[in-house]
Structure 1
Amino acid sequence: MNRRIHYIDNLRWMTVSLLILFHAAIAYNTWGEANYIFFEPIKPIASVVTFITPWFMPLMFLLAGVSSRYSLQKRGTAAFIRERLIRLGIPLVFGIIVLNPILSFIADKCHNAYAGGYFEHYGVYFTRITDLTGYDGGFTVGHLWFLLILMVISLLSCVIIKLIPKCKTATRITGILLSVSAVATFDIKFFSKPLIMFLCVYLLGYYVFADRDFVARLSRLKWILVTLFLLSSVADVVLYIYIDGFEILNTVCYYMTFITGIPAIIAIGYDHLDFSNRITKFNASISYVFYIIHFPIVVMCQYCMSLIGVNAVVNFFLTIIISYMLTVGLCVVIKKTKLLQKCHHAVT
């Protein structure tokens, strides 16, 4: 039970790595999202976002829930809460003060033709409080909303876990109720996020998917799940991006992608990704910092290349390559620099 679950680590860093692709593609969306920078609607690129969206963040919360099971067993509740507050709270505050102003500054330049300097824009950033996206150049938690919500859910889950025992009968009932609740609240949003669904999948990770016996049984169905996942995902993309007038069918496919995608990915991970080597260890070790710093790098790359007149499509592919190299490189610097290394260890 104390053995490191390598497939969870591998799924986490692989999922986080997709963020470069995901956030680069949003700048070409076809549904009118302003983003921090926008070029033109390009359907094949926008399809990337549509394909990933139904399962990506739910999977992140589920993996966090699985990890919490082992962390609570190892640390105990008090130490777990203290670790969550430090690990999530410090990067959240740092990101809001240092990283997210970059996103809002570029958004103001691109959408509002802001003419002031970067440090001058801090006055705009901390005083323009609107929808909290930062797309208008105002204050935002940006991509770090995940840290904020995960911190709240982690603390709330400690209370729930104390109230609901982990005996097998209770776990089965809890798993069924959580699964139904996750689907039922999938599209119920607060502050534009499905907060109840995220709590449900986090707890599903803790109660159900942390059980290796359950995942082993699930893996026997993996090719059925993968087939359903791919079919529903492709249908969702086609109906949302390329064909109008099938909203109900599109919604069904969207939900099916969510329902089948997470168990399919977990089953594939269990069967094929439960290993560790130098490459996977390195990627796992930088995945948290990678998440925190990647988005400003992506947007800066897109913005700088747009200034020198790079074609929109070329910009997309170059952004993915350059942003990934820069993000990994900066993660290495953080790992190697002594002062930064101490800060890194304080939150990991």
Structure 2
Amino acid sequence: MRKKYLDNIRWMTVVVVLFYHVFYMYNAEGIQGVVGKITNLDVQYYDVFQYAVYPWIMPILFIVSGICSRLYLEKHTGKEFARSRTRKLLVPSTIGLFAFQFIQGYLNTRNSDAVNLMQTVPAPIAYIIMVLSGIGVLWYIQILWLFSMLLLLVRLIDKDRLWKLCGKTNLIVIILLLIPVWAAGLILNTPIICVYRFGFYGILFFLGYFVFSHDEVIEKLKKYFPLFMGLTLATGIAFCIIFFGANYADKPVNRTPLFAGFAYFMSLAILGGMAKFGDFENAFTKWMSKRSFGLYVFHYLGICVVAIYLAKPGLIHPVLAYILSAVASFVIAYLLYEIISRIPVYRWMVLGIKKDKKEETK
């Protein structure tokens, strides 16, 4: 049975990711690769929004992906799972780079010194630079594909023994799982590109599969939702106060117990709260859910266009830059999705859609 609250978590989180990237584009905390500060404010206090959402937006997506992997594998074979995940995740994040995302890569180079380098190299080399720079937000589906393939190997060894044991997870164990989550965040981190945190995101994905895919465990999250919200508020407020002004996306901040605690407890609060209050579907949520992947894949393009061609040259007021960036992100993403999802072959390369796009939402 499809769990509607998981669909709602996914599209709502993608919307939060979109707004996060708007604030991130104009951040005053010195985080590189973006336009940066465009206001005359000494301190952009509203940048706290980034600190309030960054620690948990990707963790909850990996947990939900783990849960959905379990639900899919209950009705499909491992081979079907591998084919489906390869088409939906690996193809858009590899072939899709050459077919479309090099455009995003070009815009990314406009925000870095690479744009000067591209003017001095042959066109084929410049194209490769744009392709690699175009990975952008697709790092998530690259890692997710890797975890999905690893899951198939784990299943061959486990034979559901661990999964059945995890169904007995009680409240104390759920809370104590924070310890391995934090510890995993200390290992398997790439040295330059800080988003590739294989240990941190890996354990969250597998916790989603082994622990939080159990209805019994979700019932505990629903029952103790106020507790997890309290823990979220405590860790979240502390995180924002202590680390405001620092680079929240890289070490040492993203290695701290407070970062892991905020990410973990917020994810549990979202799971419990949405299972309790958000397990429904209407015309709007169904529309958003069907297009959440397209919104995720294309949303950064609109932000970059406004930032580079309007905000960076100072052609518009900073407030208008934020508003137009958000609007352009939604509009361009949905337009691209609706157009590309209707083009045979090309939709497979960019979005992993093989046949009728309606089949991809089932």
Paired position in structure 2 for 1:158: 152
* Structure 1 position 212, deviation (Å): 1.5
**Superposition CA RMSD, Å:** 3.2
**Is 1:52 paired with 2:50?**
no
**SS of 2:235 mapped into structure 1:** helix
**SS of 2:210 mapped into structure 1:** helix
Paired position in structure 2 for 1:124: 126
Partners of 2:298 and 2:332 within 8 A in 1? no
Residues 1-80 of structure 1: pairs in structure 2 closer than 5 A: 3-40=1-38, 43-80=44-81
Aligned mates of 2:292, 2:51 — CA distance in 1:
23
Amino acid at match of 1:224: L
* Structure 1 position 100, deviation (Å): 3.7
* Structure 1 position 31, deviation (Å): 3.5
Residues 1:107 and 1:83: Cα distance change in structure 2 (over 3 Å): closer
Aligned mates of 1:4, 1:37 — CA distance in 2:
41
* Structure 1 position 19, deviation (Å): 1.9
Paired position in structure 2 for 1:312: 318
Aligned mates of 2:263, 2:14 — CA distance in 1:
18
What is the CA deviation profile of residues 317-343 of structure 1, one whole-angstrom value per residue up to 9, with x for unaligned ones?
A: 2211232133223333345x3647964
**SS of 1:54 mapped into structure 2:** helix
Aligned mates of 1:23, 1:66 — CA distance in 2:
26
* Structure 1 position 80, deviation (Å): 0.5
**Is 1:206 paired with 2:209?**
yes
Aligned mates of 2:112, 2:62 — CA distance in 1:
32
**SS of 1:346 mapped into structure 2:** coil
* Structure 1 position 242, deviation (Å): 5.7
Residues 251-262 of structure 1: pairs in structure 2 closer than 5 A: 251-262=256-267
Amino acid at match of 2:51: T
- Runs of 5+ in structure 2 lacking a partner? none
* Structure 1 position 251, deviation (Å): 4.0
Aligned mates of 2:226, 2:290 — CA distance in 1:
30
Paired position in structure 2 for 1:228: 231
Aligned mates of 1:106, 1:97 — CA distance in 2:
15
Partners of 2:109 and 2:133 within 8 A in 1? no
Partners of 1:37 and 1:106 within 8 A in 2? no
Residues 1:56 and 1:291: Cα distance change in structure 2 (over 3 Å): same
Residues 262-281 of structure 1: pairs in structure 2 closer than 5 A: 262-281=267-286
Aligned mates of 1:290, 1:122 — CA distance in 2:
29
Paired position in structure 2 for 1:346: 354
What is the CA deviation profile of residues 253-276 of structure 1, one whole-angstrom value per residue up to 9, with x for unaligned ones?
A: 323212311110101110111011
Aligned mates of 2:38, 2:118 — CA distance in 1:
25
Aligned mates of 1:277, 1:173 — CA distance in 2:
33
Amino acid at match of 1:13: W
Amino acid at match of 2:140: F
TM-score (norm 1): 0.84
TM-score (norm 2): 0.81
Partners of 2:307 and 2:321 within 8 A in 1? yes
Paired position in structure 2 for 1:295: 300
**Identical pairs, percent:** 21
Question: 304-313 vs 204-213, which deviates more?
Answer: 304-313
Aligned mates of 1:203, 1:111 — CA distance in 2:
36
Partners of 1:185 and 1:194 within 8 A in 2? no
- Runs of 5+ in structure 1 lacking a partner? 129-133
Aligned mates of 1:319, 1:291 — CA distance in 2:
15
Residues 1:106 and 1:114: Cα distance change in structure 2 (over 3 Å): farther
Question: 88-97 vs 278-287, which deviates more?
Answer: 88-97
Partners of 1:95 and 1:292 within 8 A in 2? no
Residues 1:116 and 1:84: Cα distance change in structure 2 (over 3 Å): closer
